[in-house]
Amino acid sequence: MRFVWMLLLLTWTRAQGEDWPQFLGPTRNGIYAGVELGALPKSGPATAWKIDVGHGFSGAVVARGRVILFHRRDNRALVESLDAGTGKRVWVAEYPTDYRDDFGFDDGPRATPAIAGERIYTFGAEGVLQSLDFSTGKRIWSVDTKQKFGADKGFFGAACSPLVEDGRVLLNVGGPHGAGIVAFDAATGRVLWTATNDEAGYSAPVATTIGGARHALFLTRSGLVDIDPATGKIRFQFP
């Protein structure tokens, strides 16, 4: 059983701090640009609340006063919405999972959820991508990428934190036959395009603007891939 401490400054919980809705924050670079938090005491920030959680390495995300956790207890993958100020559970959504890595390392999710608008996107270690309603936790759609694309589970399971870019959910799925990288319609889960034969690595993709054009950058098991997020056209690959 893992144990998580939500170390929240009491003053911050009352303030309108910047949301942290995806892996590495609002712009996926680990930089916080919200209200000034002030100097921390030598003893560290005050503990507002703490809870026990299950297995996994998925980071928490925060939006509009909610903390979203993705973890595993027994044979259930759990997504929990908590009140950021009190830690009280607002809702929980779950699905069965039988994932086991080959090394007995950890059987929980690896990928951090992404919040975009009124949707939450999670990608489990067994390869299930799902979309949940932010307010209620109701499942909107799901795709078993291992079953659909024949992706290998890899050494330590599926670990790509979803990248939501202009109505598309981009993932390094790692499927053969051209489904190494896949774009899904964020509203419906429909496959929009597939690209590369690269197996999946453990790096989360990022999107950026270069020379006036949007680029999605993936570090797959084979190397660096620069791809047009709108069309799936590969700009370059660097092994």
The strands making up 213-219's β-sheet, listed across from edge to edge, are 206-210, 213-219, 224-227, 234-238
Is residue 28's pLDDT more than 70? yes
Q: What is the pLDDT of residues 96-129, one digit of tens each?
A: 999 998 888 899 999 999 999 999 999 999 999 9
Domain count, the chain: 1
Q: What is the pLDDT of residues 180-190, one digit of tens each?
A: 999 999 999 99
Q: What are phi and psi of 148, to 5 degrees?
A: -70, -40
The rounded mean pLDDT for the chain is 92
Is residue 12's pLDDT more than 50? no
Phi-psi domain of 171 (left: phi exceeds 0; alpha: psi -120 through 50; beta: other): beta
Percent of the chain residues topping a pLDDT of 70: 93
Name the band, by pLDDT with cuts 50, 70 and 90, for residue 217.
very high
pLDDT at 33: 86
Is residue 3's pLDDT more than 50? no
Does residue 8 or residue 201 have the better pLDDT?
201
- The whole domain housing 55 covers 3-238
Nearest to 237 by CA among 228, 229, 222: 222
pLDDT at 193: 98
For residue 45, the domain's CATH number is 2.140.10.10
Does residue 48 or residue 71 have the better pLDDT?
71
pLDDT at 30: 93
Is residue 167's pLDDT more than 50? yes
Query: What would the mean pLDDT of 74-85 be, rounded to a whole number?
Result: 97
pLDDT at 94: 98
| 24/183 Cα distance (integer angstroms) | 21
Task: Look up tokens 């799902």; give the residue.
Answer: 130
Query: What would the mean pLDDT of 164-176 be, rounded to a whole number?
Result: 97
pLDDT at 1: 46
Q: How far apart are the first and last CA of the chain?
A: 38
Nearest to 131 by CA among 167, 87, 178, 179: 167
Nearest to 90 by CA among 125, 66, 69, 107: 66
Name the band, by pLDDT with cuts 50, 70 and 90, for residue 8.
very low
